[in-house]
Amino acid sequence: MWFEKFIPKLPTVKAEDEQAEEEEELEDPQQVLRDKCNETEHCKELAEKYQACNDRVNSRSKTAENCSEELFDWLHAVDHCVTKDLFSKLK
């Protein structure tokens, strides 16, 4: 076109290859540690207590019981386990 003589060419940017994006997929170190901590004996025991409570509450039609204490105990144990190693894995 006639205006190409007066306007310098703009640089073009090419998208990265999709294969390179797949190779760069990162894992969340916190989630990896949570999965690992959920496999410990203490966390398994608390998860089983929470599941038993949840099953008991769901089996009843009218109950004032909830499983918040069991849930918080389990989550606290997992978070306590994760915090020991998490910050050493962050950049």
User: What does the pLDDT look like over 27-76, one tens digit per residue?
Assistant: 888 999 999 999 999 999 999 999 999 999 999 988 888 999 999 999 99
pLDDT of residue 61: 87
pLDDT of residue 9: 65
**What interhelical angle do 41-59 and 68-89 show, nearest 10?**
150
Q: Tokens in use for 46?
A: 């608390």
- Domain topology for 28-88: Helix Hairpins (1.10.287)
Of 16, 64, 70, the C-alpha closest to 43 is 70
Give the tens place of pLDDT for each residue, 5-35.
Answer: 666 666 667 666 555 555 677 888 899 999 9
Tokens 């008991």 sit on residue: 56
Contact assessment for residue 50 and residue 65, using Cβ atoms and an 8 Å cutoff: no
pTM score of the predicted model: 0.67
pLDDT of residue 78: 95
The structural domains of the chain, with segments of one domain joined by +, span 28-88
Tokens 């050493």 sit on residue: 88
Contact assessment for residue 57 and residue 65, using Cβ atoms and an 8 Å cutoff: yes
In terms of Cβ atoms closer than 10 Å to its own Cβ (0-12, 13-18, 19+), residue 74 is: buried
